[in-house]
Structure 1
Amino acid sequence: MKKIFSMFIILVLSISVLAGCGQGTSESKLTSSSNNSSKENSLDRVKKAGKIIIGIDDTYPPMEFKDKDNKLVGYDIDIANEIGKKLGTKVEFVPTAWDGIFMALQSKKFDVIHSSVSITDERKKTMIFTEPYIYGGNAIFVKADNTTVNSQDDFKGKIIGCQVGTTAQDALSKISGMKEVKKYNGMTEAFLDLKNGRIDAVVSDPQVGDYYIASQKDKFKKIKSLLSQEPIGVAFRKDDTDLRDGYQKAMDELKKDGTLSKLSEKWFGYDIYKENQ
């Protein structure tokens, strides 16, 4: 009787274990299925929201800055607005200090950074990019009457300005002998200090320095030698490949229909796409 009873208990326990295993497998499949189906298409997310939110540094003329009426203008601003039309969404800009802009992207304060972002191997570790839509780099700018700084070899004992958190800062960190590398939150302050003789040179994207030369005639000049030449693209979070691809498609269409060339002539005075062909 005990043997029969024992066998009965074993049988019941076995059925319970098997049932438990079956339930666990079923739940596991449901969870896996749920996880797969919950992965959101980032382009659809933006279209559903009806707007794309773009992080920018609004102290970087002629790429993105505020005009005398405090309106956001610039080359990147115009491109982003045209891309919004292509995607069928509104565009909302979120001005953000450059030294915090990448962290803000990762914390989802906005969908994308369209703000003259140099594409570097280090940045590729945490973000994905469109193809380069322009080539920048780091050029040297000095006062128009400068006679002492003609290349980076003349930086010894000098005060050189750059924007904090940029590839210009990285480039200057590899050069020894300077009295100081003075870091600015925006380029307007850097060129103001250069004009007033508080620093000896500014290292910046050529397009940015060229804007100051054009807008303040006889105040600045560009040294011909470049510290570096860099591709510039639009940055996205690693998972947002669908949004990146949609953005790239719109950018390709703008290049093909001549819009990018017209905007280049508007902001730089020449067609950079024709020169790069």
Structure 2
Amino acid sequence: MKKSVAIILTITMAGVLFVGCGKKTESSNSLQAVQKAGKLTIGLDDSYPPMEFRDSNDKLVGFDIDLGDAVAKKMGVKSEYITNDFNGMVLALGSSKFNVIISAMSITDDRKKSINFSDSYVMGGQVAIIKQGNTKINKIDDLKGKTVACQLGSTGDTAATAMKGLKEVKKYDKITDAYQDLSIGRVDAVVLDAQVGQYYVAKKPGEYKVLDEQISQEPIGIGFKKQDKELQVAVQKAIDELKADGTLSKLSQKWFGFDAYKK
């Protein structure tokens, strides 16, 4: 009798463990979770125009917003955006705060240790922007002895920190705050992505200038948790289709003023 009870309990426990493992495997499949929820949650920093920012009506807009909407539509789901400080974006992805990162994130070897990336959906790179009329700074080497601003945790941070001979590198949570200090003369230059620099120049003609010399070239991609292979494949398929059908060309013309995909 005791043996029978023991056997029954063993079988029951094995069944529970089997079901539990099955549920765990199913819940760890992000693509199925996205499809079941009917939405793709996207993490971003909402203060990086023209990639992602708030307009005068506090509406979330930008290249990455249009891209996220288009990717989600291709996948047959809706997009939902969750804001996060850029410096903590990778950690937030790891804790499942959102499904993917679409936030002008450069693909670097250091980041690839923690997350996976899609193929590059646009080529970025670091530049320095100064106030128009500043005749003392004409090239990158002229930044020696000067105070340079950047966004904390960004590749602009990496590039600025690596520059030799600077007086100081001031790091900000939001790139908009760095621009504010540039405009009032607290810093001499801001190091940031080329698209963002050109956006500010176009937005305020005569106020800012991008130095001709580029500090670096950096591919920008969508970030995924390491285990989310199926979700990564589905998103990559959507990006490839958006490139092929000309959608990304139209978005780059809309936000950058040129076709970033023209060969």
TM-score, with structure 2 as normaliser? 0.90
Are 1:105 and 2:93 an aligned pair? Answer: yes
Task: Quote the residue 1:202 is aligned against.
Answer: 190
The alpha carbon displacement at 1:196 in A equals: 1.7
Q: 2:82 aligns with which of 62, 80, 94?
A: 94
For the Cα contact (< 8 Å) 2:140–2:211, is it kept in 1? no
**Partner residue in 2 for 1:143:** 131
In the TM superposition, structure 1's runs of 4+ consecutive aligned residues that sit over 6 Å from their partners are: 23-30
2:252 to 253, 256, 264: 264
Q: Distance in 2 between matches of 1:24 and 1:158?
A: 72
- Offset at 1:184? 1.2
1:182 aligns with 2:170: yes
- The amino acid of 2:220's aligned partner reads I
The 3-state SS of whatever aligns with 1:227 is: coil
State how far apart, in whole Å, the 1-side matches of 2:169 and 2:246 are: 40
Give the one of 102, 115, 121 matched to 1:114. 102
Number of residues of Structure 1 aligned to a counterpart in Structure 2: 256
| 1:59 paired to 2:73 | no
Which string of whole-angstrom CA distances, capped at 9 and with x for unpartnered residues, describes residues 155-192 of structure 1? 22211010010111111222232111011111212122
Cα separation, 1, equivalents of 2:205 and 2:49:
16
1:38-96 Cα offsets, whole Å, 9 max, x none, are: 42332111010111111010000000000000000000000101111111111110111
Instruction: Name which one, 1 or 2, has greater alpha-carbon Rg.
Output: 1
CA distance in 2, matches of 1:166, 1:45: 30
**Aligned partner (choices 57, 60, 68) of residue 80 of structure 1:** 68
Out of 14, 25, 28, the position equivalent to 1:39 is 25
Q: Which residue of 2 aligns with 1:221?
A: 209
Query: SS of 1:69's equivalent?
Result: coil
Q: Percent identity?
A: 48
* Alpha-carbon separation, structure 2, partners of 1:240 and 1:266: 31
Distance 1:25 1:148 in 2: 80
Structure 1 unaligned regions, length at least 5? 1-15
Pick from 221, 232, 235: which aligns with 2:220?
232
Query: Cα 1:135–1:177, aligned 2, differ >3 Å: closer, same or farther?
Result: same
Q: Which ranges in structure 2 are unaligned for 5 or more consecutive residues?
A: none
**CA–CA separation in structure 2 for the residues paired with 1:33 and 1:107:** 24
Q: Provide the C-alpha distance between the structure 1 equivalents of 2:212 and 2:135, rounded to a whole number of angstroms.
A: 14
